[in-house]
Amino acid sequence: MLEWMGMYPDELKQALADMGEKPFRAGQLFSWLHRGACFSDMTNLPLNLREKLADRGVDQPVEVRDIRVSQLDGTRKFLFALRDGNCVEGVLMRYHYGATLCISTQVGCKMGCRFCASTLDGCVRNLTAAEMLGQVQCANRLLDGERVHNIVLMGSGEPMDNYDQVVRFLRLVSHPDGLNIGLRHISVSTCGLVPQMRAFAQEGLPVTLSLSLHAPNDGIRRQIMPIANRYTIDETLDACRYYIEKTGRRVVLEYALIDGVNADPACADELAKRLRGMQCHVNLIPLNTVKERNLYGVQESQVRAFLTALENRHISATRRREMGDDIEGACGQLRKKVMQEERA
Q: Which residues are catalytic?
A: 89, 331
CB closer to ligand SAH out of 13 and 214:
214
Q: At closest approach, how far in Å is the CB of 109 from ligand SAH?
A: 6
Cβ pair 201, 246 in contact under 8 A: yes
Q: At closest approach, how far in Å is the CB of 169 from ligand SAH?
A: 14
Site residues for ligand SAH, 313-342, by CB under 6 A, read 330-331
CB closer to ligand SAH out of 53 and 224:
224
Q: Based on the number of CB atoms within 10 Å of its own CB, is 175 exposed (0-12), middle (13-18) or buried (19 or more)?
A: middle
**To 5 degrees, how large is the angle CA 64–CA 180–CA 242?**
100
CB closer to ligand SAH out of 49 and 211:
211
For residues 172 to 211, the per-residue mask of contacts with ligand SAH, x marking binding by CB under 6 A and - elsewhere, is: -----------------xxx--------------------
CB closer to ligand SAH out of 24 and 95:
95
Please give the radius of gyration of the chain, using alpha carbons only, rounded to the nearest integer.
21
Site residues for ligand SAH, 47-106, by CB under 6 A, read none
Among 123, 154, 298, 317, binds ligand SAH (CB under 6 A): 154
Question: How far apart are the C-alpha atoms of 115 and 136, rounded to whole Å?
Answer: 27
Could you give the angle at which helices 265-275 and 233-247 cross, rounded to 10 degrees? 50
CB closer to ligand SAH out of 239 and 330:
330
Pairing of strands 148-153, 280-286: unpaired
CB closer to ligand SAH out of 128 and 190:
190
The residues, any chain, with a CB within 8 Å of residue 328's CB and separated by 6 or more, are 68, 77, 334, 336, 337
Q: At closest approach, how far in Å is the CB of 27 from ligand SAH?
A: 34
Cβ pair 146, 99 in contact under 8 A: yes
Q: Which residues pair with 318 in a beta bridge?
A: 283
If one asks whether residue 247 binds ligand SAH (CB under 6 A), the answer comes out as no
Site residues for ligand SAH, 217-236, by CB under 6 A, read none
For residues 268 to 297, the per-residue mask of contacts with ligand SAH, x marking binding by CB under 6 A and - elsewhere, is: -----------------x-xx-x-------
Q: At closest approach, how far in Å is the CB of 161 from ligand SAH?
A: 8
Question: How far apart are the C-alpha atoms of 160 and 195, rounded to whole Å?
Answer: 9
Q: At closest approach, how far in Å is the CB of 40 from ligand SAH?
A: 36
Question: How far apart are the C-alpha atoms of 313 and 151, rounded to whole Å?
Answer: 31
Q: At closest approach, how far in Å is the CB of 124 from ligand SAH?
A: 15
Q: At closest approach, how far in Å is the CB of 287 from ligand SAH?
A: 4
Q: Where are the alpha helices (DSSP H) in the chain?
A: 9-18, 24-34, 47-56, 129-143, 163-173, 194-201, 218-224, 233-247, 265-275, 300-312, 333-343
CB closer to ligand SAH out of 99 and 225:
225
Q: Considering Cα of 217, then 233, then 275, then 301, what sign does the dihedral take?
A: negative
> What is the DSSP track for 228-250?
GGTS-HHHHHHHHHHHHHHH--P
How big is the site for ligand SAH, counted in residues (CB under 6 A)? 18
For residues 99 to 128, the per-residue mask of contacts with ligand SAH, x marking binding by CB under 6 A and - elsewhere, is: ------------x-x-xx------------
For the chain, how many residues are written? Answer: 344
Question: How far apart are the C-alpha atoms of 106 and 108, rounded to whole Å?
Answer: 6
Among 3, 21, 254, 328, binds ligand SAH (CB under 6 A): 254
Interface ranges with ligand SAH (CB under 6 A): 111, 113, 115-116, 154, 158, 189-191, 212, 254, 256, 285, 287-288, 290, 330-331
